[in-house]
Amino acid sequence: MPAMTSLYRDDFCAWIEAQAALLLQGRLQDIDTDLLAEELEAMGRRERYELVSRLIVLIAHLLKWRYQATKRSASRRGSIVEQRVQIAREIRLSPSLKPFVPEAIQEAYPDALRIATRETGIDASLFLTVCPFSEADLFDDDYWPE
Single-letter amino acid code for the residue at 28:
L
Specify if 37 maps to a domain. Answer: no
Classify residue 132 by its DSSP letter. S
Q: Is 48 exposed, middle or buried (CB count within 10 Å of its CB: 0-12, 13-18, 19+)?
A: middle
Please give the pLDDT value at position 1. 44
pLDDT in tens, 23-69: 999 999 999 999 999 999 999 899 999 999 999 999 999 999 999 99
Whether residues 70 and 113 fall in one domain: yes
Q: Distance (Å, rounded) from C-alpha 85 to C-alpha 79?
A: 10
Specify if 123 maps to a domain. Answer: yes
Specify if 114 maps to a domain. Answer: yes
Classify residue 142 by its DSSP letter. T
Its domain, for residue 13, covers: 1-31
Whether residues 71 and 131 fall in one domain: yes
Whether residues 50 and 100 fall in one domain: yes
Whether residues 12 and 79 fall in one domain: no
Q: Distance (Å, rounded) from C-alpha 97 to C-alpha 82?
A: 19
pLDDT in tens, 117-146: 999 999 999 999 999 999 999 999 999 999
Number of domains forming the structure of the chain: 2
Whether residues 27 and 53 fall in one domain: no
Specify if 110 maps to a domain. Answer: yes
Q: Distance (Å, rounded) from C-alpha 124 to C-alpha 118?
A: 9
Whether residues 132 and 71 fall in one domain: yes
Whether residues 50 and 26 fall in one domain: no
